[in-house]
Chains A and B, each alone.
Chain A
Amino acid sequence: MRDLFANLYSRVVNFFKSTEEIGEQTKEVARNRLKLVLMQDRTNLTPAVLERMRGELINLLSKYVELDKELLDLNFEQEGDQMALMLSIPVVRAKTEEEIQKAIQEDEAIKDVALADDDEDESSDEDEVKEEDKEDEDGVNNEGTSEESGEDEEEKEEEPSESEPTEENEEETEEKTAPKSQKSKEKEAKAEETSEENE
């Protein structure tokens, strides 16, 4: 008889315990599932694309550290209006200096090939600049155009410093920057004209 009561008691307690546990889960399950699905809705990143992004990140980061690929965690988090991409990377082992240097060198080799491709594309880049100039002529705001031309100069300074500073390269970039700077002067002059006309 006593056993029966004890049995019943434990059953009742377990019943309440189990419902409590399940209860704690369902709300959190809903919340987490919803957060995930909303991030996908908002960012247009499908699970497949996210997986791809994860793979690319692993490839990139593996150059510098040895990661636990299985545990790498990629998530979006919302804080107020701001959305953040959270990346948690368990590091298995730091790579030796040699390994890192080797990875960098391999990378540079790929970049050089890419740079060569870029040189061929330069002409189309200039076309884009011309288009920008046209837009600037239409623009009335003098400050805006001067800012943009300032940005152009910054880009020019950065470009050669990234590529290998060989003499050939330097000459090339100089040749190409010369017409650009002329243009930017023209741009400023025209912008002044338009503002005067408007006055």
Chain B
Amino acid sequence: MTGRVIVITSGKGGVGKTTTSANIGTALAKAGNKVVLIDTDIGLRNLDLLLGLENRIVYTIVDVVEERCKLKQALVKDKKNPNLALLAAAQTRDKSAVTQEQLKDICEELKKKYDFILLDCPAGIEQGFQNAVAGATEAIVVTTPEMSAVRDADRIIGLLEAREEIESYKLLLNRVRPNLIKENDMMSVEDVVEILSCKLIGIIPEDTGIITSTNKGEPIVNVEKSLAGQAYRNVAQRIMGEDVPFLELDKQENAIIAKIKGIFAKLKGKV
């Protein structure tokens, strides 16, 4: 088995890299894939919190690199889903604790046993970013429809293009607010895609449910009714190669019709 190694990055902080990592990872695992999430944000670890695994961490990626434990020992299994594991970052060290080569080696080893290895990248374009990207062959660039986030995403895309090991990268537009877009107070999905000229992998609406799900340490993909959860589940399916249409956020009133359409589409697919 050779798994796919995907880095989730953004440049700017606070746009939802870690939330995206936790949700895509959980959704992929729910769909039956074996998934490892690696938190490469050494010194500022948070992925464990979003997954509700903060009390179960014994060893971290730094312990693996410094050979205080085996890689297998450091992988924390998810509470609900045995297909999902987390390799946590150390909280007391900094980005220099792990080198690009070491991270590459870890990914190579995990590739043999897992379908997906997701790297949650730290903000910025310095060593932490360089380390995380070194292990990956695919990238998801997370951004929001705000100027500063789009500008940083453009910079990240430039850096990704310069790296030969990255075979493909796609854009995930997070925290989209259809109401603001409607009132022309926010750049639309089309605007951002046009400006960055990058292929989309997902559009995630702003959802207060994200806050409550973070509070509980439970990714929102586990909440069936949540729109953001649905959007993340769709992203996971697209990563798996399925052709899933994007949620039409500006036509919320037609949600029921969309659902019916979806059912018809499924029926068509089966026939």
Inter-chain contact B197/A78, CB cutoff 8 Å: yes
> A31 at the A/B interface (Cβ < 8 Å)?
yes
B226 CB → nearest A CB, Å: 27
Inter-chain contact A38/B184, CB cutoff 8 Å: no
Question: If the complex has contacts A30-B147, A33-B147, are A38 and B185 also in contact, measured as CB distance less than 8 A?
Answer: no
Inter-chain contact B151/A30, CB cutoff 8 Å: no
> B154 at the A/B interface (Cβ < 8 Å)?
yes
Inter-chain contact B185/A41, CB cutoff 8 Å: no
What are 9 inter-chain pairs, A to B, with CB distance below 8 A?
A27-B185, A30-B147, A33-B147, A34-B150, A34-B187, A35-B195, A41-B155, A78-B195, A81-B197
Q: Which of A169-187 contact B (CB under 8 A)?
A: none
> B250 at the A/B interface (Cβ < 8 Å)?
no
**Interfacial chain B residues near A20, Cβ < 8 Å:** 183
Complex: A23 Cα to B180 Cα, angstroms: 9
> A165 at the A/B interface (Cβ < 8 Å)?
no
Inter-chain contact B185/A34, CB cutoff 8 Å: no
Question: If the complex has contacts A30-B147, A33-B147, A81-B197, are A38 and B154 also in contact, measured as CB distance less than 8 A?
Answer: yes
Complex: A127 Cα to B183 Cα, angstroms: 64
**Which residues of B line the A interface, CB within 8 A?**
146-147, 150-151, 154-155, 158, 181, 183-188, 191, 194-195, 197
**Which residues of A line the B interface, CB within 8 A?**
20, 23-24, 26-28, 30-31, 33-35, 37-38, 41-42, 78, 80-81
Give the contacting residue for B195; candidates A26, A31, A81; CB below 8 A: A31
Since A27-B186, A31-B191, A41-B155 are in contact, a sample of 4 more A-B pairs with Cβ atoms closer than 8 Å, ordered by chain A residue number, is: A23-B184, A38-B154, A41-B151, A42-B158
A41 CB → nearest B CB, Å: 7
**Interfacial chain A residues near B197, Cβ < 8 Å:** 78, 80-81
Inter-chain contact B154/A41, CB cutoff 8 Å: yes
Complex: A31 Cα to B181 Cα, angstroms: 12
**CB nearest to A22 among chain B residues:** B185
A181 CB → nearest B CB, Å: 40
Question: If the complex has contacts A42-B158, A80-B197, A81-B197, are A34 and B147 also in contact, measured as CB distance less than 8 A?
Answer: yes
Inter-chain contact B147/A28, CB cutoff 8 Å: no
Complex: A30 Cα to B195 Cα, angstroms: 12
**CB nearest to A83 among chain B residues:** B197
**CB nearest to B148 among chain A residues:** A34
A28 CB → nearest B CB, Å: 7
Complex: A23 Cα to B181 Cα, angstroms: 10
Complex: A26 Cα to B146 Cα, angstroms: 11
**Interfacial chain A residues near B187, Cβ < 8 Å:** 27, 30-31, 34
Query: Could you say which of A20, A35, A38, A81 has the most chain B C-beta atoms within 10 Å of its C-beta?
Result: A38
Question: If the complex has contacts A78-B195, A78-B197, A81-B197, are A34 and B186 also in contact, measured as CB distance less than 8 A?
Answer: no
**CB nearest to A80 among chain B residues:** B197
Inter-chain contact A23/B150, CB cutoff 8 Å: no
Complex: A81 Cα to B186 Cα, angstroms: 24
**CB nearest to A27 among chain B residues:** B184
Complex: A33 Cα to B187 Cα, angstroms: 12
B147 CB → nearest A CB, Å: 5
A125 CB → nearest B CB, Å: 33
Complex: A80 Cα to B188 Cα, angstroms: 17
